[in-house]
Amino acid sequence: MEGGKILGKPAVPEGELVEYSISTLAWVGDAVFELYVRTRLSSEYKTASGPLHQLATHYVSARGQAELAGKLTGEAGSFPLEPHEDKLLRRARNYHSSSMSRNALPADYRKATALEALIGWLWLAGKEDRVVELIDYLLDTSRTDGPDHGSGC
């Protein structure tokens, strides 16, 4: 999909993506991330949607995404970020949103927004392979027990 199409529409040139707001990039990234997590979990665990939803919320929440974002920065970060990706993460982490989740700490919300913005940027730029590589790295380095906490589902 690199530089090609996204769901039948042309990818957005990176020069235009610079003009997108952090909140728009995060809005798209949130949807991409949640769909990827749901798709992956439903293929890994053959169980009802309730237990899958419980497991997905571990990842698809401000707290969960903040924990994942921490795997990209600092000494713990071993995922090879491109310089422009690192710059976007920092810019997005410093973005002050007019809205805030009731259930999230402000620092967690900012880290989650940064991760979502990066995913949104990559997706809109048509870099689906990079999105998959990034999300797989994050999920693989933070494995939890499956539905029913390891009952073999």
Q: List the structure tokens of 150.
A: 């390891």
How far, rounded to the nearest angstrom, does the alpha carbon of residue 53 sit from its chain's CA centroid? 17
Annotated active-site residue in 30, 86, 129, 145: 30
30 is catalytic: yes
The residues annotated with a catalytic role in the active site are: 30
